[in-house]
Structure 1
């Protein structure tokens, strides 16, 4: 993190637009007049990223190993509701994204549905299930593959991770909690 509180931008993200010095993720919804809405997912772009195996942050093709950000309840179901990321895009995200970085203890109470009404853009949380809910712990899930399914809860495309596709799982520790936590053994990636 730089002194200004804005994390350095990896080269892979140099082509993405910026707002207040932060990279706008590829799956972020934008209004017809071009304004991006951080924290609002364009469901069509999210589905494209999952099906085409693109990184949700940079929009470029994923390689053989990538990372999902998954909440504990996602892990319990082995379903990632959002697309994977390149390792460097993931590391940027856990610093830049206030939810992943632990700077928000609740999701926004009101979404941006009114801004997108009538635009044809479907948002990634169409039922507003996350609005106002408490933030949950996040995990970094390194994987080598996944299967696209329809999430039975959200009725949107999601990634199903089978046990042999998962390389490792680690809690995303926030800077203030890192010193109070023991780091689990890091299994070898094959």
Structure 2
């Protein structure tokens, strides 16, 4: 079994900024008041390239961005993905919509910030910091799936991030 390390600095910053909660309590109560389709808002603190804490008026929520997969922090492009999500969302108010999914006690949601008013997952894909999570997207909203696949093509054709070393003509596989 491979153990994946979470980046230490973001975790320490999150604890310092958002307060300390036991892992067990946070997992059991993570967004218990939020239901599928609900919008919730709060201040963002990225954990890695596809997860973030949202400090809401009812407490901290751990969110997994819907439909994307970003490299783990300790792999190539992992720090790039984490830095991009940090730049896009750290300390900003975000509005998220619960998609109804749960993974490792995290709420799966689509989120955006007011200043870019674009889906954070889509921006991560378009910048080459993440790829569409195909197995989930094929079960979900077709419009989102089509958008994410188009954005991946843009990133690939422009050799952004993960795609920078791909040979021409190999995009979209």
TM-score interval w.r.t. the shorter chain?
under 0.3
Q: TM-score, normalised to structure 2's length?
A: 0.25
The structure in which a higher percent of residues are helix is 2
